């Protein structure tokens, strides 16, 4: 049995096979591949794209998706082992995951960090405990990485560029009024380096480096794939000749959860917005963002509405990529 928790555990060839099947499903969306199959979608955080695309994707393949929101429409859950459950949680994941696995063929989980202690959150405790107790495959719908977004992102890049190897890929930090999850940025590094791109992480300063685990994984991926990985603090140098600009905001890890203290530093960097001047430095680069996106904070209207913007294509591809993923996990990788 395979889980889909991080693309670190999947080879480039396996990921490409998922994208290839997604391309077939995009051409012929309604197929009875998952008749009598079901998926439990467990959301600890809000969503527009992830929830819609998983629910509709399972329906388009003949199966059923159910949505659970612990603490709202389902019991609040406990994840720690050996605790006296005298707090808010009415149920332990040890029971919840095993029960859902008796009902469903796949369990998918969205659980963002708690933004209290990165040292704890970086262990990805919620989805790891679901995976520990589940007897069916578990899909990450965004925790500290966002591997489903990675599939849709790479699929959209290949649709626009064909072979992505050695293309210049810039992952740029952008301003946002709040400190956000690093998941999409971690994932951007993982997938671009795994597929042999020349990757630049553009940060305002060292405080915005991503977790060393993902910086190291990016270096290792680049060495294995024939790509490259570097960090830049120079906006014009990073944008120069870029083929792809992937924009994302994230909170500085040294200030994790302490965003009021981070704010004076963050407020100095509003000029990291993706705009027409910066895009003019590129090789007519594709603009990408995972969405949701604050217009004229992270990116100007002119850029996100330009023909070079692939944000809607990438969002659409969530549907196709996750259908391929559910199909392969429920059949090939079920074990
Ligand atoms: N990109 C993404 O995961 O969108 P949602 O948060 O709306 O699901």
Angle of helix 12-27 versus helix 147-161 axis, rounded to 10: 70
End-to-end Cα separation, the chain, in angstroms: 5
Q: Per residue of the chain (335 residues), what is the pLDDT tens digit?
A: 999 999 999 999 999 999 999 999 999 999 999 999 999 999 999 999 999 999 999 999 999 999 999 999 899 999 999 999 999 999 999 999 999 999 999 999 999 999 999 999 999 999 999 999 999 999 999 999 999 999 999 999 999 999 999 999 999 999 999 999 999 999 999 999 999 999 999 999 999 999 999 999 999 999 999 999 999 999 999 999 999 999 999 999 999 989 999 999 999 999 999 999 999 999 999 999 999 999 999 999 999 999 999 999 999 999 999 999 999 999 988 76
Q: Could you read off the pLDDT of 297-306 as tens digits, one per residue?
A: 999 999 999 9
**7-145+318-331 maps to which CATH number?**
3.40.50.1370
Q: Quick one: which atom of ligand 1 is closest to the CA of 46?
A: 6
Q: Identify the pLDDT of residue 46.
A: 97
Interval between CA 149 and ligand 1 midpoint (Å): 8
Q: Identify the pLDDT of residue 211.
A: 98
Q: Quick one: which atom of ligand 1 is closest to the CA of 290?
A: 1
Q: Identify the pLDDT of residue 335.
A: 64
Ligand 1 pocket: which of 48, 149, 152 to mutate (most atoms <8 Å of CB)? 48
Q: Quick one: which atom of ligand 1 is closest to the CA of 45?
A: 6
Q: How far apart are CA 192 and CA 173, in angstroms?
A: 16
Question: Which residues line ligand 1 at a C-beta cut-off of 6 Å?
Answer: 47-50, 142, 149, 290-292
Interval between CA 83 and ligand 1 midpoint (Å): 33
| β pairing state of 198-202 and 228-232 | parallel
Q: Identify the pLDDT of residue 297.
A: 97
Ligand 1 pocket: which of 49, 150, 183 to mutate (most atoms <8 Å of CB)? 49
Pick from 103, 151, 99: which is nearest to 130 by CA?
99
Q: Quick one: which atom of ligand 1 is closest to the CA of 50?
A: 8
The DSSP secondary structure of 265-301, one letter per residue, reads: HHGGGGGGSB-HHHHTTSSSPEEE--S---BTTTB-H
Pick from 260, 240, 259: which is nearest to 251 by CA?
259
How crowded is residue 221: how many other Cβ atoms within 10 Å of its Cβ? Answer: 25
Q: Identify the pLDDT of residue 275.
A: 98
CATH architecture of 149-314: 3-Layer(aba) Sandwich (3.40)
Interval between CA 146 and ligand 1 midpoint (Å): 9
Ligand 1 pocket: which of 42, 43, 46, 47 to mutate (most atoms <8 Å of CB)? 47
Interval between CA 196 and ligand 1 midpoint (Å): 26
Interval between CA 87 and ligand 1 midpoint (Å): 30
How crowded is residue 155: how many other Cβ atoms within 10 Å of its Cβ? Answer: 25
Ligand 1 pocket: which of 139, 318, 321 to mutate (most atoms <8 Å of CB)? 318
Angle of helix 183-194 versus helix 12-27 axis, rounded to 10: 100
Interval between CA 47 and ligand 1 midpoint (Å): 5
Distance of CA 237 to the CA centre of its chain: 27
Q: How far apart are CA 211 and CA 182, in angstroms?
A: 9
Interval between CA 254 and ligand 1 midpoint (Å): 25
Interval between CA 247 and ligand 1 midpoint (Å): 15
Task: Please give the sequence-ordered ranges of beta strands (E in DSSP) within 5-78, or none if there are none.
Answer: 38-43, 64-68, 77-78
Q: Where are the domains of the chain?
A: 7-145+318-331, 149-314
Asked if residues 292 and 250 have their Cβ atoms less than 8 Å apart, the reply is: no
H or E element that contains 156: helix 147-161
Asked if residues 152 and 18 have their Cβ atoms less than 8 Å apart, the reply is: no
Asked if residues 261 and 255 have their Cβ atoms less than 8 Å apart, the reply is: yes
Specify the residue with its C-alpha closest to ligand 1, atom 6.
Answer: 47
Q: Do domains 7-145+318-331 and 149-314 have the same CATH topology?
A: yes
Pick from 187, 197, 269, 278: which is nearest to 230 by CA?
197
Task: Please give the sequence-ordered ranges of beta strands (E in DSSP) within 60-181, or none if there are none.
Answer: 64-68, 77-78, 91-92, 106-110, 138-140, 168-173
Q: Could you read off the pLDDT of 35-78 as tens digits, one per residue?
A: 999 999 999 999 999 999 999 999 999 999 999 999 998 999 99
SS3 5: coil
Interval between CA 318 and ligand 1 midpoint (Å): 9
């Amino acid at each position: 049995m395979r889980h889909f928790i991080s693309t670190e555990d999947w080879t480039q060839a396996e990921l490409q096979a998922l994208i290839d099947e997604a391309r077939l499903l995009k051409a012929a969306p309604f197929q009875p591949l998952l008749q009598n199959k079901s998926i439990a979608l467990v959301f600890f955080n809000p969503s527009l794209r992830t929830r819609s695309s998983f629910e509709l994707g399972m329906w388009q393949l003949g199966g059923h998706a159910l949505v659970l929101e612990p603490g709202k429409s389902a019991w609040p859950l406990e994840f720690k082992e050996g605790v006296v459950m005298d707090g808010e949680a009415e149920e332990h994941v040890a029971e919840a995951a095993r029960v859902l696995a008796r009902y469903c063929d796949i369990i998918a989980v969205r659980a963002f960090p708690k933004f209290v202690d990165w040292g704890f959150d970086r262990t990805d405790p919620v989805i790891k405990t679901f995976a520990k107790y589940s007897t069916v495959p578990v899909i990450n719908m965004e925790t500290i990485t966002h591997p489903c977004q990675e599939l849709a992102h790479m699929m959209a890049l290949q649709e626009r560029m064909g072979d992505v190897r050695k293309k210049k890929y810039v992952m740029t930090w952008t301003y946002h009024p709040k400190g956000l999850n690093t998941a999409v940025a971690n994932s951007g590094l993982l997938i671009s380096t795994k597929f042999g791109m020349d990757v630049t992480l553009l940060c305002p300063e060292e405080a915005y480096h991503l977790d060393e685990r993902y910086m190291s994984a990016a270096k290792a991926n680049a060495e294995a794939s024939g790509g490259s990985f570097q960090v830049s603090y120079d906006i014009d140098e990073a944008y120069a000749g870029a083929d792809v600009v992937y924009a994302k905001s994230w909170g500085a890890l040294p200030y994790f959860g302490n965003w009021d203290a981070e704010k004076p530093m963050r407020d100095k960097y509003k000029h990291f917005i993706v705009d027409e001047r910066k895009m003019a430095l590129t090789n007519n680069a594709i603009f990408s963002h995972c969405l949701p996106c604050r217009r004229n904070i992270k990116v100007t209207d002119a850029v996100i509405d330009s023909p070079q913007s692939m944000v809607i294509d990438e969002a659409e591809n969530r549907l196709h990529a996750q259908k391929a993923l559910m199909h392969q996990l429920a059949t090939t990788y079920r074990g």
